[in-house]
Amino acid sequence: MDELASAPGPAVRTRLAEEKNVWPCTVRPDGSARVTPVWFVYEASTWWIGTEHSSVEVRNIRTEPRVSPALEDGRFPVVAEGEAALIRDRFPRRS
């Protein structure tokens, strides 16, 4: 998924490196939102979100790629917006 609107500061980079779950908001075919926690890794300005190929998130992204992931802490929100791309291969190796 696309990077944050601006480069994340040190506190946000730390959270992105340490936190394990993100709440991506996807769009259902009827236009309503769906939010659920999933595993993630933030690497090279990209949110890598792990989920089953048959999950609701994947089905939603197939028809509407716009997503908005948010970290779990409501006091200090980290929220991004962008378009998701479905990748069926393994997590890319670090260069």
Q: In whole angstroms, give the CA distance from residue 81 to residue 68.
A: 4
Q: Residue 1's pLDDT band (boundaries 50, 70, 90)?
A: very low
6 versus 86: the higher-pLDDT residue is: 86
Domain housing 42: 10-83
The answer to whether residue 67 is domain-embedded is: yes
Is a pLDDT exceeding 90 seen at residue 81? yes
pLDDT band at 6 (very low <50, low <70, confident <90, very high): low
Residue 83 tokens, joined: 């378009």
| CATH number of the domain residue 31 falls in | 2.30.110.10
pLDDT, tens digit, 9 for 90 and up, residues 26-78: 999 999 999 999 999 998 888 999 888 899 999 999 999 999 999 988 889 89
CA angle 75, 76, 78 (to 5 degrees): 130
Whole-angstrom Cα distance, residue 73 to residue 87?
Answer: 27
DSSP state of 79: B
pLDDT over threshold 80, residue 2: no
Alpha-carbon span 10 to 67, nearest angstrom = 24
Residue 8 pLDDT more than 60?
yes
Phi/psi at 7 (5° precision): -60, 130
Q: Structural domain tally of the chain? A: 1
Has residue 34 been placed in a domain? yes
Please give the Cα distance from 38 to 21 (Å, whole number): 5
